[in-house]
């Protein structure tokens, strides 16, 4: 994201608690660097001096978003982030009136979580305005998760499964539902339920009361996930959770640069009305982490251009479907 912002001449200011790492990247990109930690309110306030937009990238966001948002509201700086954490979306949306009073825009999830899927949900809601249920699924043709993504997923344990039913979030067992999806351009794939930011964002964008989110997984992986159900409760212990996160930080690296350049992500959605009528749509985008850099910087550019209203919004509410369409490599398929 820093490289993309510099490439687009947005003059980013790079900030973080590790001055050496931040300074090295800033020197490479000829950017200003600032060093501060989120647990030092005075340093945080000073660090946001004369900043118009914060693109917050430090997860798990359940631990980092609130202090940054508090500082942004005080500094009158707009806040964007790349979270996929349902509870974080819900907490930020509850600050809508507070953000309006401060004249500040708050938009969580301006990356792969959840720009393309939020736009997909909006398109389906427009096609079937009386929809009562929405399923969203994504998969990739190659690649994997980064250490940051896995650390964040582990943070949510022991709540490993979640759906929205009749407008309310409901915890369900790990890998509670599966189905087969035909992704245009990729083919038929198995998918399994996974808590995704759209359980908060798509609900706010569309108002559809029943939502499920799925991720691609082989039948073998799905069977393994279900065998892990008895162990999920143990992972809720703080010591066990921190140990698993330490292992993820040590051993997981995520997709390399070559994979990020070559891979693509595929998204599919289906809206359903009470009488059984359905609408389906799909799109494909660049590999998820590459897409995140492009979409997040585009959202920051639009915010700097004055397009973001005060309040707490989903990406589509804030910028319209034009945000996803402005990202290179996005391909929509015909609505069915």
Any residues with CB less than 8 A from the CB of 103 and at least 6 apart, and which? Answer: 76, 310
Same domain, 328 and 194: no
Summarised one tens digit per residue, pLDDT across range 57-109 is 998 899 999 999 999 999 999 999 999 999 999 999 999 999 999 999 999 99
Taking the CB of residue 99, how many other CB atoms lie within 10 A of it? Answer: 24
Q: What is the pTM of this model?
A: 0.90
Same domain, 222 and 300: no
Give residue 147's pLDDT. 46
Same domain, 65 and 101: yes
Mean local confidence (pLDDT), 170-198: 92
Summarised one tens digit per residue, pLDDT across range 251-306 is 555 667 777 677 899 999 999 999 999 999 999 999 999 999 999 999 999 999 99
Q: Mean pLDDT across the chain, nearest whole number?
A: 89
Provide the residue range defining the domain that includes 271.
115-287
Same domain, 294 and 206: no
| Distance between CA atoms of residues 201 and 168, nearest Å | 13
Same domain, 126 and 106: no
Same domain, 255 and 172: yes
Same domain, 122 and 265: yes
- CATH number, domain of 142, equals 3.30.360.10
Number of domains in the chain: 2
Summarised one tens digit per residue, pLDDT across range 226-236 is 777 776 666 55
Same domain, 98 and 143: no
CA atoms within 13 A of residue 261's CA, in its CB half-sphere: 3
Same domain, 244 and 199: yes
Summarised one tens digit per residue, pLDDT across range 116-158 is 999 999 999 999 999 999 999 999 886 555 445 544 554 555 4
Same domain, 65 and 130: no
What residues pair up with 54 in beta bridges, in sequence order? 79
Same domain, 224 and 96: no
- CATH number, domain of 42, equals 3.40.50.720
Same domain, 129 and 243: yes
β-strands 187-193, 210-216 pairing = antiparallel
């Amino acid at each position: 994201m820093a490289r993309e912002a510099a490439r687009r001449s947005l003059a980013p200011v790079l900030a973080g608690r590790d001055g050496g790492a931040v300074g090295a990247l800033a020197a490479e990109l000829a950017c200003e660097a600032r060093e501060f930690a989120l647990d030092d309110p005075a340093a945080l306030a000073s660090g946001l001096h004369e900043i118009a937009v914060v693109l917050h990238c430090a997860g798990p966001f359940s631990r980092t978003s609130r202090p940054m948002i508090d500082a942004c509201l005080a500094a009158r700086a707009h806040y964007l982030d790349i979270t996929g954490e349902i509870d974080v979306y819900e907490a930020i949306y509850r600050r809508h009136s507070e953000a309006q009073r401060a004249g500040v825009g708050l938009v969580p999830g301006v990356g792969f979580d959840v720009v393309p899927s939020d736009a997909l949900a909006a398109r389906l809601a427009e096609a079937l305005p009386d929809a009562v249920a929405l399923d969203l699924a994504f998969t990739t043709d190659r690649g994997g998760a980064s250490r940051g993504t896995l650390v964040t997923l582990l943070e949510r344990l022991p709540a490993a499964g979640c759906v929205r039913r009749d407008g309310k979030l409901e915890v369900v067992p790990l890998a509670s539902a599966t189905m087969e999806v035909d992704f245009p351009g990729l083919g038929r794939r198995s998918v399994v339920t996974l808590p995704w930011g759209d359980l908060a964002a798509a609900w706010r964008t569309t108002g559809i009361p029943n939502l499920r989110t799925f991720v691609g997984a082989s039948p073998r992986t799905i069977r393994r996930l279900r065998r892990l159900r008895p162990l999920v409760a143990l992972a809720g212990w703080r010591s066990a959770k921190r140990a698993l996160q330490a292992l993820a930080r040590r051993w997981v690296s995520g997709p390399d640069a070559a994979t990020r350049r070559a891979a693509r992500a595929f998204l599919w959605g289906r809206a359903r009305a009470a009488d059984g009528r359905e609408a389906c749509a799909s799109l494909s985008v660049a590999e998820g982490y590459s897409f995140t850099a492009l979409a997040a910087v585009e959202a920051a550019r639009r915010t700097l251009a004055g397009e973001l209203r005060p309040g707490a919004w989903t990406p589509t509410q804030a910028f319209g479907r034009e945000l996803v369409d402005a990202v290179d490599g996005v391909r929509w398929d015909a609505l069915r």
